């Protein structure tokens, strides 16, 4: 046989063998897809069934909620009250307490609380101890929080950071520690309301810093409390229409920050930057904010009443499909994405 004939014979045999192997691999891959699909469907059904189970004897369980003047906290207090829980709703204002009492049952108790004041937190904890008795506290929901001031980092002062951290982070820690012995008695729950901006910092200022801190506290607390039978959950909402995302207050905040800036910082950003920021803020908030606050409330309720709560809850379409995926992007890509959505300006050289 000539070399050409040998090569043709080898090539023909190889082609047949390769074609056979390719067909075999395709059949195996198809089987793998079917096997994977066969596993995914039962897993989804099992997860749904597991998550649908609820705790019993709700009338014996006490739930302590902070920040019930309005928004998520107010809706959650009313929702749990209808379900039969004994709700202890803390409000920052007397008006908030009075209005909540008018629309809830006699089971619901209200109290005044300033989460940034340790004496107020201690007083509330002492009152709760007398209310719950030997059964202990089933759950605490750290919902209270603020979002202003917010703006570029070099517009801020250290006092802006301290004031927000006192409420959003230190308040969460203080309230949790004040009632943790009561939660241990009931082998209950701690539910911390963070934000998708505890996963990704899309803008400057103290808000993202405070929520990153809540995420860290939540994770360490979950690990430390697991041996005691305490479940710790974190709620990570996206943009919702609450007092925190009130565009009127946000625009007023930007103007106030701008007015107090030194002249050299204003010149760095240019005279048109403030108005560009306000216009972009209104455009983004109108596009992203969700008016259905019950999406977050249902996550909170599940964390409190489910036999097997999740460790994290992402509430809102923007959280699930934009902000959380953005948190897993390479830093260079995420930075380019967020810079591209910031108000355009040319820094002064």
Catalytically annotated residues: 207
DSSP 320: I
Question: How far is 340 from 202, CA to CA, in rounded Å?
Answer: 11
Show Cβ contacts of residue 83 under 8 Å, excluding neighbours closer than 6 positions: 58, 301, 305
For every residue of 126-176, DSSP letters joined together read: HHHHHHHGGG---EEEE------S-S-GGG--HHHHHHHHHHHTHHHHHHH
Question: How far is 233 from 313, CA to CA, in rounded Å?
Answer: 8
**What region does 286 belong to: left with phi over 0, alpha with psi -120 to 50, or beta?**
alpha
Evaluate whether 140 touches 191 at the Cβ level (below 8 Å): yes
**Helix (H/G/I), strand (E/B), else coil: 284:** helix
Question: How far is 21 from 15, CA to CA, in rounded Å?
Answer: 10
């Amino acid at each position: 046989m000539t070399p050409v004939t040998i090569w043709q014979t080898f090539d023909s045999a190889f082609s047949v063998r390769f074609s056979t192997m390719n067909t075999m691999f395709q059949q195996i891959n198809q089987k793998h897809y079917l096997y994977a699909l066969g596993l995914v469907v039962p897993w989804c059904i099992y997860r749904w069934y597991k998550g649908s189970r609820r705790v019993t004897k709700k009338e014996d369980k006490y739930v302590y909620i902070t920040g019930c003047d309005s928004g998520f906290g107010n809706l959650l207090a009313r929702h749990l009250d209808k379900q039969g829980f004994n709700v202890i709703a803390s409000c920052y204002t007397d008006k908030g307490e009075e209005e909540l009492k008018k629309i809830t049952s006699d089971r619901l108790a209200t109290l005044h609380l300033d989460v940034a004041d340790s004496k107020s937190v201690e007083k509330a904890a002492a009152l709760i101890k007398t209310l719950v008795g030997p059964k202990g506290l089933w759950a605490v929901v750290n919902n209270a929080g603020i979002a202003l001031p917010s703006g570029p980092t070099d517009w801020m002062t250290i006092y802006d950071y301290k004031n927000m951290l006192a409420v959003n982070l230190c308040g969460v820690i203080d309230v949790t520690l004040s009632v943790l012995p009561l939660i241990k008695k009931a082998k209950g729950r701690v539910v911390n309301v963070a934000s998708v901006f505890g996963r990704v910092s899309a803008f400057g200022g103290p808000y993202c810093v405070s929520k990153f801190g809540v995420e860290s506290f939540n994770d360490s607390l979950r690990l430390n409390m697991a041996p005691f039978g305490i479940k710790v959950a974190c709620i990570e909402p996206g943009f919702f229409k609450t007092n925190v995302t009130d565009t009127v207050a946000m625009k007023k905040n930007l103007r106030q920050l701008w007015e107090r800036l030194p002249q050299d910082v204003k010149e760095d950003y240019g005279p048109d930057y403030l108005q560009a920021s306000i216009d972009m803020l209104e455009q983004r908030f109108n596009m992203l904010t969700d008016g259905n606050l019950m999406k977050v409330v249902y996550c909170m309720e599940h964390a409190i009443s489910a036999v097997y709560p999740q460790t994290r809850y992402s509430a809102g379409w923007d959280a699930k499909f934009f902000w959380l995926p953005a948190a897993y992007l390479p830093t260079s890509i995420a930075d380019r994405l967020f810079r591209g959505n910031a108000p355009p300006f040319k820094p002064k050289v």
